[in-house]
Amino acid sequence: MDIVAERSSLIKKLEQINDEMLLKAIHELIEQSQIQDNEYLGETIEEYNRELDAAKARVESGKFIRHEDLEKESSQW
């Protein structure tokens, strides 16, 4: 079943529910899912892309540490 058909089926089932507690639980589940999605990224796609572009520019300009060099440096801590 594709996403449109799945959504349509779910809407029909939701319309038939008369249990307010169940509807509130479903609503809370959806809300929590959206919060977790936002927390996972912690930022908008635009912010993520800006940070990615900035990181790429730093690498291209030579502002980075090689893994081997970092290991040597951290072994002296």
How many residues are there in the chain? 77
Query: pTM for the full model?
Result: 0.43
Q: How far, in Å, CA of 77 to CA of 11, rounded?
A: 59
Domain, as residue range, for 10: 3-75
Q: What is the pLDDT of residues 35-72, one digit of tens each?
A: 665 555 566 788 888 989 999 999 999 988 889 988 98
Structure tokens belonging to residue 25: 């639980």
Mean pLDDT of the chain: 86
Supply angle C-alpha 7, 11, 14, rounded to 5: 135
The number of distinct structural domains making up the chain is: 1
